[in-house]
Amino acid sequence: MLRSLIVLLALIPLFDLMIIVIISRQIGLPATVALVVLTALVGLMLARFAGRRNLRRIETAIRAGDVPTDHVLDGAIILAAGLLLLTPGIVTDIVALGGLFGPTRTPMRNGLKRWLIVPYLDRKTGGFVTGEVYVGGFPGQQPRADAVEVDIDIEDIGEESDRESKP
């Protein structure tokens, strides 16, 4: 997992550089540099706006007594998008712009929850996040051979209590 992440992080800048070279051959070097700088500036302004808006939503949720978990994750995605916008490149800017808009940020947040946060918390809590908790006694304990299974109906309990209360 870590090795594939390192390879991915090394390939993204190379892919960005390749796209920049292709674009610069089509529209020229000055226009390509202007495009990269323009997307970074516009993206950072959008990140600032989205971040402030998200902070207001967090404050509103806290005042209402709600836990702002989705808004905190949105803030992390906005922060990551802002960092991606600082790196020069077209591909990273497109991914970052996707993280700045609500309709595209929601699937990112849901994916983070599903594939990163919930599995991590499940490992740390022993299954309490998803409800996959071991309930079969102590771990490693084998059921006893002389264990007796008792089946009690509610009607039996009612009849038993009636018998005990009569003299």
Among 58-72, 75-89, 100-114, 145-159, the minimum mean pLDDT is found in 145-159
Q: What value does the mean pLDDT take over residues 112-119?
A: 89
Residue 151 has pLDDT above 90, yes or no: no
Residue 70 lies in a domain: yes
Q: What value does the mean pLDDT take over residues 129-137?
A: 70
12 within 8 A of 92, measured Cβ to Cβ: yes
Residue 113 has pLDDT above 60, yes or no: yes
- What count of other Cβ atoms lies within 10 Å of the Cβ of residue 31? 12
Residue 12 lies in a domain: yes
Q: What value does the mean pLDDT take over residues 125-153?
A: 69
d(Cα 53, Cα 45) in Å, to the nearest integer?
12
In b/e form, how buried is each residue of 124-143, taking b as 16+ CB within 10 angstroms? eeeeebeeeeeeeeeeeeee
Residue 151 lies in a domain: no
Residue 111 lies in a domain: yes
What's the number of domains the chain is made of? 1
DSSP string, 40-79: HHHHHHHHHHHHHHHHHHHHHHHHTT---HHHHHHHHHHH
Query: What percent of the chain has a predicted confidence (pLDDT) above 90?
Result: 40
Residue 138 lies in a domain: no
Placement of tokens 């009607």 in the chain:
155
**What integer best gives the mean pLDDT of the chain?**
84
d(Cα 37, Cα 43) in Å, to the nearest integer?
10
Q: How confident is the model at residue 141 (pLDDT cuts 50, 70, 90)?
A: low
Q: How confident is the model at residue 66 (pLDDT cuts 50, 70, 90)?
A: very high
Residue 167 lies in a domain: no
Residue 156 lies in a domain: no
In b/e form, how buried is each residue of 61-96, taking b as 16+ CB within 10 angstroms? beeeeeebebbebbbebbeebbebbeebbbbbbebb
Q: What value does the mean pLDDT take over residues 85-110?
A: 89
pLDDT at 124: 87
pLDDT at 165: 54
Residue 59 lies in a domain: yes
Q: Which domain holds residue 115?
A: 8-130
